[in-house]
Amino acid sequence: MTKPIPSHIQFPKDFLWGCATSAYQIEGSPLADGAGPSTWHRFSHTPGRVQDGDNADITCDHYRRYDSDVDLMRSLGLKSYRFSIAWGRVLPEGTGRVNAAGLDFYERLVDKLLSRGIQPMVTLFHWDLPAALDDRGGWLNRDIAHWFAEYADIVFRRLDDRVQYWTTLNEPWVVADGGYMHGILAPGHRNVFEAPRAAHHLMMAHGAAVQAYRASGRNKIGLVVNIEPKYPASQSEADLAATRRAEAYMNRQYLDPALLGSYPKELLEVFGDAWPHWPDADLKLIKQPIDYVGVNYYTRAVVRAEPNAWPLGSTTVKQKHHTHMETGWEVFPQGLTDTLLWVKEKYGNPPVYITENGACFFDPPQVEGPVLEDPLRVDYLRKHITAVHDAIQRGADIRGYFAWSLFDNFEWAFGFSKRFGLVHMNYETLKRTLKSSAHFYSKVIASNGAALAE
């Protein structure tokens, strides 16, 4: 089933190897030094929203330990580190008054990274919207495009002299689908009429921030999307149509407007009456030239038509005898090659970074000894990074790869129950312990891929 690993692998020179995290998931101290609360702070402090009542008040305590954490990154040989900025640390009310201490924190982090030879890749929005903006309608208010551009501009002007890689949004689909369609993520709405509006305003915010960047920035800016390739369960007309709808909803709803300037027509079938008619000027704003596409890949879906299933009229068929992660996601490395080739074909081979890829398997809460063995994660990384290499061999313009995640961390509605880290976190003592996947990844980086074949 899985392909053999070729005996000699080398990635392109200057391939950017990194790890990724996000602010709310690892920082802790969410209200420190004048920061304003986020929707995720509120959500996790609302009983019943997050598994086991967990919240990220402490999580990895990275806000206070960033200095030694960067030394740890250096010891792994990371060339780049992808993290996000908490909007509410910079602008506690979301717009207007700048909180100097918040911006200073990210400046110290960037400077520390550079002093250790690590290139920062900075995401401006990884889901923690200032609560004050949620009170003004959040992603349902069209003005959010301006609010976001105002915030982005402040950060660009402070850090663009040192940050080479910027990202506007992380995974807008998850915000619209989890936050506004199904209500399982912040802000917890369940409303089919809101979801397409939230999605559209996210994309307008992306466009407005890229525009702001062109006015003052000199480096690279992109958009990060999660792509889950969809495979039909059979060749029946019904399954093929269901697969097209699923692909339009999750994968094309974001990349099509950003790169092609239009929405897939299947969205009308998906949303029906709830799909608004958007003015052309909005699509013009959304389609700004970007420097790269960030692709987050975890799994695939095999799609079967199911007329009564809301909202897509389809279900995902579980591949019974395949390995699944603790989240229930199937392990399917070929899907990463297919995804990268799909982006290449459909969008004209843009430069791509795999901005997230990783796996959660059970690891114990406490570790004894210097290393935690995590063979399933090592296997996942080996096969997926090899799948990236395959796509490069087949002509895809892939510039870098970021493992999700550096640490075990606060996994959103799953709380601390799911561990994705290459570095184990003991949440009682906050001790960091390398897993064997961290050692493995470190060797892959040092050998520019050759260690995949060992």
Dist. CA 267–CA 279, nearest whole Å: 16
Q: Which of 76, 6, 79, 121 is nearest to 385 (CA)?
A: 6
The arrangement of strands across the sheet holding 432-435 comes to: 371-372, 432-435, 423-425
143's tokens: 């003005």
CB of 120 to ligand FCB, least distance (A): 17
Cβ partners under 8 Å of residue 377, min gap 6 = 358, 359, 361, 422, 435, 437
Which one, 60 or 212, has the nearer CB to ligand FCB?
Answer: 60
Catalytic, out of 171, 194, 228, 330 = 171
Number of shown-chain residues binding ligand FCB (CB under 6 A)? 12
**Contact range with ligand FCB by CB under 6 A, out of 166-174, 394-402, 431-439, 442-450:** 166-174
**Contact range with ligand FCB by CB under 6 A, out of 97-105, 131-139, 167-175, 329-337:** 167-175
Which one, 180 or 404, has the nearer CB to ligand FCB?
Answer: 404
Catalytic, out of 27, 228, 330, 356 = 356
CB of 428 to ligand FCB, least distance (A): 22
Q: Does 174 bind ligand FCB (CB under 6 A)?
A: yes
**Position among 404, 407, 440, 441 found at the interface with ligand FCB (CB under 6 A):** 404
393's tokens: 């061999």
Q: Does 412 bind ligand FCB (CB under 6 A)?
A: yes
Residues 23-42, interacting with ligand FCB (CB under 6 A): 25
CB of 22 to ligand FCB, least distance (A): 5
Backbone dihedral region of 137: left (phi > 0), alpha (psi from -120 to 50 degrees) or beta?
A: left
Cβ partners under 8 Å of residue 77, min gap 6 = 17, 442, 445, 446
Binding mask 328-357 for ligand FCB (x = CB under 6 A): ----------------------------x-
Cβ partners under 8 Å of residue 291, min gap 6 = 220, 221, 222, 351
**Position among 363, 379, 390, 411 found at the interface with ligand FCB (CB under 6 A):** 411
DSSP run (H or E) holding 404: strand 398-404
Q: Does 223 bind ligand FCB (CB under 6 A)?
A: no
Task: Tell me the DSSP string of 206-233.
Answer: HHHHHHHHHHH--SEEEEEEE---EEES
CB of 411 to ligand FCB, least distance (A): 6
Torsion angles phi and psi, residue 259, rounded to 5: -105, -25
Binding mask 279-298 for ligand FCB (x = CB under 6 A): -----------------x--
**Position among 147, 231, 402, 420 found at the interface with ligand FCB (CB under 6 A):** 420
335's tokens: 């899907």
**Position among 27, 134, 171, 374 found at the interface with ligand FCB (CB under 6 A):** 171
Instruction: State yes or no: is 171 an active-site residue.
Output: yes
150's tokens: 């105002």
Backbone dihedral region of 312: left (phi > 0), alpha (psi from -120 to 50 degrees) or beta?
A: alpha
Q: Which residues are catalytic?
A: 171, 356
| Interaction site with ligand FCB (CB under 6 A) | 22, 25, 170-171, 174, 226, 296, 356, 404, 411-412, 420
